[in-house]
């Protein structure tokens, strides 16, 4: 009885989505083509190779800040009223890391060494929704790692104490924030951090 009710509700939801999809197709709604999107469908003066080309930025005459054309002239330095001291040069060791190809190639792994939380997302398995997708056209390129999440997203902050393995009844080696809190000796902490990403240069 309960299963029949659930099936009927799912069928009604599916029919409702199909009615909405058909009406958006009839009206030429922009979302109507989402399921069968092709780059060739994009057109317009700001579209180049299937990507939206943003308007040129303007440069503030007083502080050299880059701003979008519609941004207020007061948004950065109040037309020269606020003057920040120039940035000090980076310490040589940080500059050396920044310029090292290996460090930049592994930057995400280095960043994870100091992670205190992890991110998670719930995926929708309903046929009306796509699974969590990653935009493959931007994956693996330079710049910020880009992904798309459909569903709930949250951050997981683990326990401050290592969990006990249910098969061996032994404590699991510390991870994430536990590395900085549990290991009493500084050398043990350093070795634990080094062991997590052993393939990174020290």
Backbone angles phi and psi of 118, in degrees to 5: -125, 160
88 CB neighbour count, 10 Å cutoff: 6
Question: What is the rounded CA–CA span in Å between residue 75 and residue 78?
Answer: 6
Tokens of 180: 């900085």
Would you state the pLDDT for residue 4?
Answer: 63
Tokens 């989402």 — which residue?
Answer: 34
Question: What is the rounded CA–CA span in Å between residue 110 and residue 157?
Answer: 19
Would you state the pLDDT for residue 160?
Answer: 72
Q: Classify 118 as helix, strand or coil.
A: strand
Which of 112, 130, 105 lies closest to 177, judged by CA?
Answer: 112
Would you state the pLDDT for residue 129?
Answer: 44
Would you state the pLDDT for residue 91?
Answer: 93
Would you state the pLDDT for residue 32?
Answer: 45
pLDDT one-digit tens code per residue, 108-117: 777 776 677 7
Would you state the pLDDT for residue 33?
Answer: 46
What is the residue extent of each domain of the chain? 1-53, 55-85, 88-109+158-202, 118-156
Under-70 pLDDT residues of the chain: 1-6, 20-41, 113-114, 120-153, 176, 179-187, 189-190, 192-194, 196-202
């Amino acid at each position: 009885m309960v299963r029949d009710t659930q099936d009927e509700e799912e069928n009604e939801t599916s029919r409702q989505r199909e009615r909405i999809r058909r009406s958006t197709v009839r009206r030429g709604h922009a979302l109507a083509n989402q399921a069968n999107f092709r780059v060739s469908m994009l057109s317009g003066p700001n579209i180049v190779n299937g990507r939206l080309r943003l308007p040129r930025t303007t440069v503030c005459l007083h502080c050299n800040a880059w701003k979008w054309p519609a941004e207020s002239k007061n948004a950065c330095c109040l037309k020269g009223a606020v003057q920040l001291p120039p940035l000090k040069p980076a310490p040589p060791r940080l500059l050396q890391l920044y310029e090292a190809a290996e460090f930049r190639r592994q930057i995400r792994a280095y960043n994870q060494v100091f992670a205190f939380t992890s991110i998670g997302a719930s995926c929708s398995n309903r046929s009306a929704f796509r699974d969590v997708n990653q935009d493959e056209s931007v994956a693996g390129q330079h710049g910020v790692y880009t992904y798309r999440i459909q569903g709930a997203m949250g951050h997981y902050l683990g326990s401050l104490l290592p969990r006990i393995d249910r098969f061996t009844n032994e404590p699991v080696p510390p991870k994430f924030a536990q590395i900085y809190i549990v290991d009493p000796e500084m050398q043990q902490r350093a070795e634990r951090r080094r062991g997590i990403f052993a393939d990174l240069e020290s």
